Chains A and B, each alone.
Chain A
């Protein structure tokens, strides 16, 4: 089984809809991250969390919110989706003091 899983893997939604992307990990890591990637571009950090009670905005948090339901679960929500949020979304984890991030398989989101 994969260490970091994301659901759904693909999603098409309409403008204005609320959507939640979920991430679960079995690595026991305390740090979790949400990134988005647009075609031909690198990854941009949306939110990150050091533990259940510590959530921080990344470089592009506007239009997004997150919830850390447990150490193993970190969800990303788009309250009112818009077309320019169409992208590939990745969840990642990392242990404290580590240098290696572990990424999920990604969620391809299309907003029409």
Chain B
């Protein structure tokens, strides 16, 4: 499984766009990039998944450059309720084993 590297923490203000970058230099050809969100004392929740270029849903956008060695999760106009830990995972679809690193702790300030 590809190793991922994310910033440990980030601060932002309400209404701003937040971009969290994940590095995955040894991503494999059939690996997908998946992001999860975890609020304190809750289980992680799936946010978005992509393979290349750009994916957008009602919650976030995921930007993946052509070499796929990194990806950026973009949260538009964050609010206080977006304060959470965000995990970047890289694995083939249907894998039996995901590796959750320590994630990026995002704190949104008023």
Contacts and interface: CB of A to CB of B under 8 A. Distances in A.
A84 interface: no
Given A92-B43, A105-B42, A105-B43, A98 B102 contact: no
Given A42-B103, A99-B34, A106 B42 contact: yes
A41 B102 contact: yes
Given A40-B102, A99-B32, A100-B49, A50 B43 contact: no
Number of contact residues on A: which range applies?
20 to 34
A99 B102 contact: no
B13 interface: no
Nearest to B101: A42
B94 A101 contact: no
Interface of B: 32, 34, 36, 41-46, 49, 87, 91, 93-94, 96-98, 100-103
